[in-house]
Amino acid sequence: MYAAVEHGPVLCSDSNILCLSWKGRVPKSEKEKPVCRRRYYEEGWLATGNGRGVVGVTFTSSHCRRDRNTPQRINFNLRGHNSEVVLVRWNEPYQKLATCDADGGIFVWIQYEGRWSVELVNDRGAQVSDFTWSHDGTQALISYRDGFVLVGSVSGQRHWSSEINLESQITCGIWTPDDQQVLFGTADGQVIVMDCHGRMLAHVLLHESDGILSMSWNYPAFLVEDSSESDTDSDDYSPPQDGPAAYPIPVQNIKPLLTVSFTSGDISLMNNYDDLSPTVIRSGLKEVVTQWCTQGDLLAVAGMERQTQLGDLPNGPLLKNAMVKFYNVRGEHIFTLDTLVQRPIVSICWGHRDSRLLMASGPALYVVRVEHRVSSLQLLCQQAIASALREDKDVSKLTLPPRLCSYLSTAFIPTIKPPIPDPNNMRDFVSYPSAGNERLHCTMKRTEDDPEVGGPCYTLYLEYLGGLVPILKGRRISKLRPEFVIMDPRTDSKSDEIYGNSLISAMLDSCNCSDSSDVELSDDWAAKKSPKISRASKSPKLPRINIEARKSPKLSRAAQEMSRSPRLPMRKPSIGSPSLTRREFPFEDITQHNYLAQVTSNIWGTKFKIVGLAAFLPTNLGAVIYKTSLLHLQPRQMTIYLPEVRKISMDYVNLPVFNPNVFSEDEDDLPGDAVWED
């Protein structure tokens, strides 16, 4: 076999990821009938629970076609827990998600018409040690650390509960493959066996000195009825590029193995809980997490191992790197994956027909591509070349046949959709539309007002893996009008530097919006303010960026009326938008402060205009008009005009389809020929 970490940027959240769970995606056309496993496990959803109490549901894909259609929304951040989420468990037969927090709260989520909602809530006030669905998905086993255990139905009805009096805590609980018994592991190395009705059957001591961390079977977590028919979903089916040739059906003749992990790092493979001669695996790892693949022939064991001591420092600390070891059903070591991760791996899970292994370590998420068969020379060459290239765009520079270039590019196709924005190309990410049809859902946060920077700061975050990725930052520049300047969410004021040495530190540090990038505008900018703004805003700490050094439209209108003859009545002219030109902009200040755009408004806050400040953006970025009736008798109307911006050429700087005259200071100054549609 062969395993390698997927190439690409580091995937991470803004807080520590504590648990993982993956399920296959059921096509809409097959939700009421047996599904085709080959297609069912090519796409799926990854659930993550983090330290901020947010559950992330992110779309994943293992096929290598870039033009494959994806769901319209590919990431959900589910909020509702008041403490860190420690357990997430999918129920594939019923398409539900169970989540548990550190305070003992249990939520069962269900998706309906593209939205997630809480179906069931259970809060006993005690910490949950484990939550496990039965193999048919109809029952749930909940075990608490204080010895209380409960079995309920998928609809929330309690079947039975029991209080187990022990001197130690219950650490885990699982169902037997036939769902007729439940097993509980304790911190003092004992296994408690009960039947499906709550009667005590056995009490076995497995280890006197080591506690039990987890228990599992080399058996599929859920028994989903298979269909030999091909998928009938709208997406075109393509054969898988990696992984097993077909999804393996468990062989009924092979008896499942009970796997028990101990605190010492040893793992016991047992035929049953009363096996007197189990196979013991000496992993040599600490803080071990284990999981069998779905087909039950490969056991992944992740943990920390001590390495050589630092030679530069006397009596320095020992360097520890996370490792993943793979074993077969006989306990034989098959493969070792060395990683550069120096933090413990807290959770792992298999996905995509056992062709992917997902690992969580701190705020980072790693995807491992696993080849179960003997690795081919072509695959080894692909991984070696991809490691040397580092980026997908460098593949075209190689003098290779097109077919080999296409095969080499598949090594850079990410499994997690969407991939996190590249910190070096964040401006392109926020300025130009993406190639796909997916929607990017964001969250905006406001920080405390800081008089040194001239107004409140707002940061726009992209929802990703249960966390938030800062993509834009805004600051209000006027006290009277809702006017803002939009900039890069950088932690410094230098335009040529990237966000930081690591993506994780950038995401954790950039949440503070009142940093060094929020500096005051220069005196040259403040000198270009119109007389109207100079009268309205007396504070020098609230400068306003002016598009052009000009007179206020109201002052110009007053001057025109004074020059008219009183005997010659004239029709009030329509006041259009001022000319939007770049020659008045001090580009050095725009580059230094990372300004991208400005949002201007009239005094009533009913008309807004978006003006590009950066050199690579068009001048006219859009307009928003908001209309209400006098007594609110008619429905409110809001018209948004956004011209399409593409990274093609500078011909799009002045788009002919955008009419800047739709913006004016007065409500009745709109041109008569301007047509707006909702």
User: For 559-605, what is each residue's pLDDT tens digit?
Assistant: 444 444 333 334 333 333 333 333 344 445 555 567 888 999 888 88
Alpha carbon separation from 241 to 38, 45, 355, 523 (Å, rounded) = 12, 19, 10, 60
User: For 395-433, what is each residue's pLDDT tens digit?
Assistant: 888 888 988 988 998 888 889 877 677 777 777 888 887
How distant is the alpha carbon of residue 467 from its chain centre? Answer: 6
Q: What are 475's strand-pairing partners?
A: 457, 485
What is the rounded CA–CA span in Å between residue 103 and residue 647? 49
Length, in residues, of the chain: 678
Which segment of 47-51, 181-185, 299-303, 649-653 scores lowest on mean pLDDT?
649-653
**Higher local confidence (pLDDT), 311 or 641:** 641
Indicate whether 291 pLDDT > 70: yes
**Higher local confidence (pLDDT), 527 or 379:** 379
Indicate whether 231 pLDDT > 60: no
For residue 587, give the 3-state DSSP assignment: helix
User: For 106-130, what is each residue's pLDDT tens digit?
Assistant: 999 999 888 899 999 999 989 999 9
What is the rounded CA–CA span in Å between residue 499 and residue 425? 10
Indicate whether 636 pLDDT > 90: no
Indicate whether 663 pLDDT > 80: no
User: For 178-225, what is each residue's pLDDT tens digit?
Assistant: 999 999 999 999 999 999 898 999 999 998 888 999 999 999 888 765
How distant is the alpha carbon of residue 325 from its chain centre? Answer: 27
Residue 11: pLDDT band (50, 70, 90) is confident
**Higher local confidence (pLDDT), 88 or 529:** 88
What is the rounded CA–CA span in Å between residue 158 and residue 275? 32
Residue 511: pLDDT band (50, 70, 90) is very low
Indicate whether 532 pLDDT > 60: no
Comparing CA positions, the residue from 130, 217, 124, 122 lying closest to residue 169 is 130
Indicate whether 36 pLDDT > 70: no
What is the rounded CA–CA span in Å between residue 553 and residue 607? 15
Residue 318 has a pLDDT of 54
Residue 471: pLDDT band (50, 70, 90) is confident
What is the amino acid identity at position 444? M
Helix axes 377-389, 402-409, angle to 10 degrees: 70
What is the rounded CA–CA span in Å between residue 647 and residue 627? 33
The reply to whether the predicted model has a pTM over 0.85 is no
